[in-house]
Amino acid sequence: MANPRDPKTPAPTDTAQTFQTSEEVEPHQDDGHYTVVSDIKVAHGKVPKFLKFVYAALAVWGLYYALAAKPINDRTEASPSAVPTAEAGAEVFSTSCAGCHNPTAERKIGPGLLGVQQRLGDKELDNVLHNGRPDKGMPAPPSLNLTENQIQSLKLYLTSLKK
């Protein structure tokens, strides 16, 4: 650190003196492109072209978003997978269940599921689809990360597997 008493260090000046006075700087000198305020050039006038484009695009997008966007709840309700179908169930079956079950009468790891709804009835089928039979090696479908919707689809699909 410089020693303030060192003769090489300039004596501290009164801060007021470091600012230019109004005689030295015209506060609002305007040559058409910028204004000088407190010795700082402040540009004014035109918005750059590309920014105009960005503003316009934002405005269009904003308007579109305001008019067309729907709350997330409405979106999921409107999507086709929101209605349980046997077709969706068949897809879920092939990814989540086919490793252990055939859609035929043939046994795999678990029993073949042909006619399973006729065999178990709605209530028991529902029970198995929600709770599984963990003690007998049948995992509860919710534990396989299946939604209620997918489970209902599976139920429709399994019910369609009639003998």
Beta carbon nearer to ligand HEC, 35 or 149: 149
Beta carbon nearer to ligand HEC, 88 or 138: 138
Rounded Cα gap, residues 103 and 112, in angstroms: 6
DSSP for 89-119 reads HHHHIIIIITTT--SSS--SSS---TTHHHH
Stretch that binds ligand HEC, among 23-31, 46-54, 73-81, 110-118 (CB under 6 A): 110-118
CA dihedral 66, 72, 77, 78 (to 10 degrees): 40
Regarding 111 and contact with ligand HEC (CB under 6 A), the answer is: yes
What residues numbered 37-76 form the site for ligand HEC, per CB under 6 A?
Answer: none
End-to-end CA distance of the chain: 95
Beta carbon nearer to ligand HEC, 26 or 122: 122
DSSP 143: G
Regarding 161 and contact with ligand HEC (CB under 6 A), the answer is: no
Regarding 123 and contact with ligand HEC (CB under 6 A), the answer is: no
Cα separations (Å) of 33 from 14, 49, 50, 100? 34, 16, 19, 77
Beta carbon nearer to ligand HEC, 41 or 133: 133
Interface residue list for ligand HEC (CB under 6 A): 96-97, 99-101, 109-111, 113, 116, 119-120, 125, 128-129, 133, 136-139, 141, 144, 146, 154
